[in-house]
Every structure is written in structure tokens, then in C-alpha cells.
Structure 1
Amino acid sequence: MNMQHSFTSPLSFPRRSLSSPVQSIMSNNATIQPPVSMESRAPAVGGPAPPNMAGGQGGVVGHIDREQIYTWIQELTHPETREQALLELSKKREVVPDLAPLLWHSFGTIAALLQEIVMIYPVINPPNLTAQQSNRVCNALALLQCVASHPETRTPFLSAHIPLFLYPFLHTVSKSRPFEYLRLTSLGVVGALVKTDEQEVINFLLTTEIIPLCLRIMESGSELSKTVATFILQKILLDETGLSYICQTYERFSHVATVLGKMVQGLVKEPSARLLKHVIRCYLRLSDNPRAKEALRQVLPDQLRDSTFSNLLREDNNTKKWLSQLLLNLMSPSDAHTSFVTQ
């Protein structure tokens, strides 16, 4: 059977994420300490928001010096005090519930954060990013992630197309730690957006090249970057518009299925339960589309059909259920009848 037969004529993913000013800046030359813990930079993929985001829990917010917060925000607009202010505010972003509105509505603050991002463009191509530069821009990105996470600031954040400023970082391929931190923190901003399950977020992302960017990181990134990128793809697929978009053409579906297949092969060599969880969830969601389901019957990796990952999934009942449902979805009517008779 020709898998392509059931899909419409191929169309590529959109590639309008880089505006012409960004492209020109990236062609120039110019000259981050790594963040304390990159685990803390990544979104809690699939999990709840950190408990200390809620005002008053454990009394944490009550101990914050509000005047000091205001001072640091004001210092963001001054180049000579900005680096320290970025560091201090990035530490406080999860214990100050209204930090996002404060940042968004303070004069010149978002412009200062964007300036930090734009200043890094010349050193990502060719790749000359230092650990100190990476740390500084990651602190700025952490504050943008805070803005992206807050319900009051998320919509204007999208309306201003601010995520597009991060896409040049997702284009980088250097495997050095400063670049890996930069990609991971940038993914964290997008992850914070999709975690809300809001239609406007999906609609915005589908007009950009976030899907092919995530797919490339899923192929070649670190385990944590792969996990966050796969989580973003999963959230897009879970949206009806996102699933329909990816399954609209054979080329789009094939690109996603090919990368997922390579990830399964990689997980055989380097097991990761949390990454496997999101890969299986993506496959399961694809099987909800009739044309994708027919194609998956032919291309689903054998390792998901046999007991290759049994030990890895032993303690994860949800993922085991997803895998069982996926295999059930992909059974042909004759296979399902045979299975029922032999039970």
C-alpha cells in the first residue's frame, strides 16, 4: 500500500519565523556562567505549575522585599546594572506571583529583555557564544518565560510576536554547553506557552516554523532538550487544529513519523522513560487521525510492538496504557477479530 496515497499533495511547514531584521543581524559578527541548574530552566513537561507560583504558599512570597523587586526591574533599563538585575529577578520569578505583569507594564523592561536577545545574534553564527553570555541571555529568557506563563500577559506576549525572537537560538546546532543551555531555555518559553492548552497559542505556533525546529532538536539535542521539544510537539498534536495541520499532507506526517521512529531507535541505545513517554503519546495522538493511522500500521517501529521497553515502562502505568491503546488502534479489523477470538 502506498502511504502517500491517503494524504493530499505535499506542502512544507511554514518558514516565516525570521523577520528580515533578524536575518540581517544574524549575519553580522560580534563577540553565558552556565545557569545554576538547567533542570530548573526547562518547563515541568506534563506536570503542574511549581507550588511556589501561588501567592502565600509556605509564606515564601511574604518574605520578598517588594521595593527590591521594583528596584531590580528599574535597573533592567540601565545597561550598567542590567546583568545583576537579570540574575536576581530570574531567581525570584517563581516566588513573585505578579512578576510577569510588573515586567510587562514597566516602561522599557520588555525592550531591555529583547535587547539582551538581539545582542547575542552575532555570536551564534559563527558560533562564538561564551558561558557568561549564555548565562546572561538565559536569565533574560527565564523572565520572558515568566511573562509567557502568566494569563494576563500571555496574549499581548503573543500579539507582539515575541517568540519569534527566540527562533534563531533554536536554529543553532553547536553541542557546546552554552548553546545547549540557550536552546533549552528558549524551548522553555515555548513550552510554557503550549502548557496552557490555549487555542490562540497553537494558532500562533502553526504560522511559524516551530514544528520543524522541534523535530530537528528531537533528532540531535540532549535528552532534556529532546524531551521538551517532544512535549511541545505533543501539545500541538493534542489540539485538533494541530493534529489536522500535521496530518494534512503526507510530507508533514512523514517528517514527524520519521523523527519519532529515529527517537525510538535512539531510546533502545540510551533509554529514557520520560522521553519515551512523550514519544508514545505523540504516536497515540497521530493514530486518532484515520489517514495517519493507516500509515502508522506500516511505519510504527517494531520496538514498540514487542517487549523492548517493558522494563523501562514497568513503573509507568499511564504510558503502558497509552502504548496498549496505540497498538489496539493500529490493529486491522481482521487482526482485532482474531485477537478477540483467541482471548
Structure 2
Amino acid sequence: MANLPQSLSMNAAAAFGGPGSSSASPSAAGTQGNKDRKMMSAEQLVLELSNPDLRENALLELSKKREIFQDLAPLLWNSFGTIAALLQEIVSIYPVLSPPNLTPAQSNRVCNALALLQCVASHPDTRMLFLNAHIPLYLYPFLNTTSKSRPFEYLRLTSLGVIGALVKVDDTEVISFLLSTEIIPLCLRTMEMGSELSKTVATFIVQKILLDDVGLDYICTTAERFFAVGRVLGNMVAALAEQPSSRLLKHIIRCYLRLSDNPRACDALRSCLPDMLRDATFSSCLREDPTTRRWLQQLLHNVQGPRVALQAGTGFDHMLVN
């Protein structure tokens, strides 16, 4: 019974006088009844994903309600043909990626499918199954696009959300898998040309990769990898001086700080760390963010040494008071 969908296991428990039986209190029974109805609704919508005529509405309803359906991810994964149907949605728009002819309707539909895959990527019972099936690779063509139109931007952002859900859990196995693919150059591409929000998610993914020892070693193993990341981070800092974004700056500084934990990278940062991080360029941007201010001061300390960091940080003195 442990392998049954939730609604079926509840019904079985009720039949044998278990926790789902009618002997429960009225309020508990009402709550359980609501859960059963929600799960039955989810099961019906998941079944409809396999019907091409009903799929579009099912995608929309499931993506909107995925937060209220408990154990939707295992249901999606274990239901016959469901993951194949989601992948079919993804593959079906490959032909309109180049030349870029993606319509808003096509983008919305495939993004609903991606939202369900993010649900699967987030769930502890399905995350590694999702990874072992190499499903993230189906998203990479979307991250490789360069059109800045809204349908493409929405597609990139939703795809990054799936990868972001994977790296959020701090699992070396996840990081090792992603590093065996082209995720770093794809994220760097988005960090260069995406919207502020997609840049932020892509930078977060790189940050989470760097925070894992395997990821830091990978980036710092060759000068080419380090300078590829450093060049993009530097360009982003320069762009933020014109159009500040505190949440994006936070992830950039955390990436630099983590890079400074590697002796070779730290030595290289002495010459390539942007001057705008050494002076007070972003003082107003960081005024309300004590955590990022501490990260920046620690970065300066690591790269320049305590005495020099103190001199370079004079513009931050008024900001270091919590």
C-alpha cells in the first residue's frame, strides 16, 4: 500500500478502519476529504496529459495548482506516459527556436510543461530519478537561444528555474552531473544577454556550483575556465554600475568570494577584480544588505590582504555598522 497514490492509500486505510476511516473527528474527516478531492483532481488532470486533445488545459491547471497538490511529483513520474508527454511538449517546439519563430502561446504552453518538470526536480523522491534520466539536457536548447523577445525570455527563465531547483539542495551528485554537461557556458551566455531576472537565476546556479568543492575545483582547474567566468562577472559588474540590481549584485559578490577561496583564483583576482567592487560605487545599492556588505569586505580582505582591504574599504566604513 505504500506504493499506492495518496488517494488510493487513504481509501484503503478507510476500508480497514485505519487513519482514514470514518471514526476520525468531523473536522479531521473534513480536512481529509478536501485532501482526497484535491488528489483525485490532480490524478484526473495527470491522466489528461496523455490525451493530446486535453493536454493543453491539463498543463495549465496543473501548473497553476501544483503547490496545493501534495506528492504531485511522484504522481507525475510514476504515471504511465506522463513524463513522455511533457518531453513531447518540449521537443515539439525545437523547430521554432532557430530561426526564432516562437509565439507567446507556444511559449506559455511549454513553460507550463517545464513548471511540472520543476516540480519533479524539486521533490526528494524524484530528483535523482529525474537526473539519472538526463532530462535536464532537453532544456539546454532553450538556454542556447539568443532572442530577447518575451516568449524566448520566458522560456529561458522557466528552464533556468528547473536547473535552479536541482542545485538548491546542495548535492554533490547533482553538481557533478551538471558539470558533465555544458551548463556553465549556457549559464554564462544567459548572464551576458538575459533579462535582469534570468541573469539573477543563472548567476545563482553558477554560485551554487561554485559553493560545492567539486564545482570550485572544476572552475579553477584551468585558466580558461576561470577567466571565462571572471570575464562575465566583470562585465555584469560594469553593467550594474549603470543599472543597479541589489539581488543580482549579491549573487555576483558571492561568486567572487567563493572564487577567492581557491589560492590560484584568489591570486588572479588581485589583478582582475573590478575596481567598482573596490571603491564605493555600490554603497547605496548595498546599504540595506548587511550580509552582502560582509561578503564584499571579506572578498577584499582575501584578495588584497587585511591592511589593503581596510584602505580600499574606507568607502564602506559607514556601511559596516549593522
TM-score category by the smaller chain?
Answer: 0.7 to 0.9
1:86 maps to which residue?
Answer: 59
Structure 2 runs not aligned, ≥5 long: 1-27, 313-322
What residue in structure 1 maps to residue 10 of structure 2?
Answer: none
Distance change in 2, residues 1:66/1:97 (3 Å): closer
Instruction: Determine if contact 1:64/1:96 at 8 Å carries over to the other structure.
Output: no
What are the superposed Cα offsets for residues 260-306 of structure 1, whole Å, 9 maximum, x if unpaired? Answer: 00000000011000000000000000000000000000000111000
Q: Distance in 1 between matches of 2:281 and 2:310?
A: 26
- Pair 104,305 (structure 1): closer, same or farther in 2 beyond 3 Å: same
Contact 2:142/2:155 (CA < 8 Å) preserved in 1? yes
Q: Deviations over 1:200-249 (max 9, x none)?
A: 11010000000000001001100000000000000000000000000000
Structure 2 letter corresponding to 1:327: L
- 2:256 corresponds, among 265, 273, 283, to 283
What SS does the aligned partner of 1:331 have?
Answer: helix
Deviation at 1:97, TM superposition (A): 2.5
Structure 1 residue runs of 5 or longer lacking an equivalent are 1-55
1:1-343 aligned within 5 A: 62=35, 65-332=38-305, 335=308
Give identity over the alignment, percent: 70
Report the Cα distance in structure 2 between the residues aligned to 1:172 and 1:238, rounded to whole angstroms.
Answer: 27
Q: RMSD over aligned Cα, in angstroms? A: 2.0
Asked whether the 8 Å contact 2:300–2:309 carries over to 1, the reply is no
SS of match in other structure, 1:79: coil
The 1-side partners of 2:301 and 2:101 are apart by 50
Q: Distance in 1 between matches of 2:269 and 2:37?
A: 52
Following TM superposition, by how much is the alpha carbon of 1:65 offset from its aligned partner in structure 2, in angstroms?
A: 2.4
Alignment partners' CA distance in 2, 1:139 and 1:145: 10
Separation (CA, whole Å) in 2 of partners of 1:156 and 1:329: 40
Change (3 A) 1:181 1:311: same
Flag the 1:122–1:92 CA change in 2: closer, same or farther, 3 A: same
Offset of 1:333 from its aligned partner?
7.5
Please give the per-residue CA displacement for 1:85-116, whole angstroms capped at 9, x wherever unaligned: 00000011112230000000000000000000
Q: TM-score, normalised by structure 1?
A: 0.80
- TM-score, normalised on structure 2? 0.85
Higher normalized helix content (fraction of residues): 2
Alpha-carbon distance between aligned partners in 2 of 1:129 and 1:119, rounded to the nearest angstrom: 11
| Greater RCO structure (CA 8 Å; 6+ sep) | 1
Find the counterpart in structure 2 of residue 40 from structure 1. none
